[in-house]
């Protein structure tokens, strides 16, 4: 039997979309969260010195996959969340990669050590950057007119969309007042029983 072990820190970040996929499809896996203090001795056991990694093992071998979006695509293909047509697949990839680019900017700001600089950058992010991208997403959905963010069926991009907006906590509300299609697409997936259940039972992390 194939076993999955997802290794990441005790936080959401780059691993949460992968956890959402496992939760949505109901696949068992080990959600292995290492402590920051354990990381230096674990780092050399990962393919590229970064987390998350997904370990896939059966009776014969154990394989490791790195890079969160590669893990995401691998699992999406496996569990039927990649999209059905080539165009749907391209759109799911496009949206997920775009959301990831925006999140990288956000994570970069969060790791700024100088508190004053961090606050200034965060302010700019919420005043300019996120408005810029959320209005572009809203325009895309207006044109596309699909039931879900990338297609008329749910793809992993829908799960990425919920993880994306959740990263901004209560701040997302003021964007949703204007970006009403984004809000509806977010709420539709966020209210799915599998997602509600995962959010209820997941460990509280200090993200």
- Interacting residue ranges for ligand GSH, rule: CB under 6 A: 13-14, 43, 50-52, 67-69
Task: List, as one string, the DSSP characters of 45-108.
Answer: TSSSS-S-EEEEE-SS-EEEEESHHHHHHHHHHHHT-S-SSHHHHHHHHHHHHHHHHHHHHHHH
5 CB contacts (<8 Å, ≥6 apart)?
29, 30, 32, 54, 55, 57
> How near is the Cβ of 107 to ligand GSH at its closest, in Å?
7
Closer Cβ to ligand GSH, 10 or 194, answer by number: 10
Q: In the complex with ligand GSH, which residue's Cβ is closer, 67 or 135? A: 67
Minimum gap (Å) between residue 66 Cβ and ligand GSH? 6
Nearest to 16 by CA among 25, 6, 28, 5: 6
161/180 Cα distance (integer angstroms): 14
Burial 162-178 (b: 16+ CB within 10 A, else e): bbbbbbbeeebeebbee
- Rank residues 51 and 163 by Cβ distance to ligand GSH and give the closer one: 51
Report in angstroms how near the CB of residue 92 gets to ligand GSH at its nearest.
17
In terms of residues, how long is the chain? 207
Least distance (Å) between residue 52 CB and ligand GSH: 6
Q: Which is nearer to ligand GSH, 100 or 148 (CB)?
A: 100
CB of 138 to ligand GSH, least distance (A): 26
Rounded Cα gap, residues 21 and 152, in angstroms: 18
Cis amide leading into 52 (omega within 30) = yes
Q: Is the CB of 14 or the CB of 73 nearer to ligand GSH?
A: 14
Residue closer to ligand GSH (CB basis): 14 or 89: 14
User: Considering the complex, what minimum distance in angstroms separates the CB of residue 112 from ligand GSH?
Assistant: 15
């Amino acid at each position: 039997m194939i076993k999955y072990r997802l290794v990441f820190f005790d936080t959401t970040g780059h691993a949460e979309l992968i956890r959402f996929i496992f939760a949505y499809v109901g696949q068992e896996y080990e959600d292995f969260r290492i402590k920051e203090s354990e990381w230096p001795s674990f780092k050399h056991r990962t393919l590229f010195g970064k987390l998350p990694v997904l370990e896939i093992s059966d009776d014969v071998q154990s394989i490791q996959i790195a890079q969160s979006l590669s893990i995401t695509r691998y699992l999406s293909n496996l569990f039927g969340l990649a999209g059905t047509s080539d165009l749907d697949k391209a759109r799911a990839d496009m949206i997920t990669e775009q959301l990831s680019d925006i999140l990288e900017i956000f994570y970069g700001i969060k790791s700024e050590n100088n508190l004053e600089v961090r606050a200034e950058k965060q302010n700019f992010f919420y005043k300019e950057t996120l408005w810029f991208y959320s209005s572009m997403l809203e325009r895309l959905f207006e044109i596309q007119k699909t039931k879900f963010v990338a297609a008329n069926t749910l793809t992993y991009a829908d799960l990425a969309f919920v993880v994306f907006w959740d990263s901004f906590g209560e701040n997302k509300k003021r964007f949703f007042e204007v970006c009403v299609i984004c809000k509806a697409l977010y709420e539709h997936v966020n209210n799915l029983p599998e997602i509600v259940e995962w959010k209820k039972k997941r460990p509280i992390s200090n993200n």
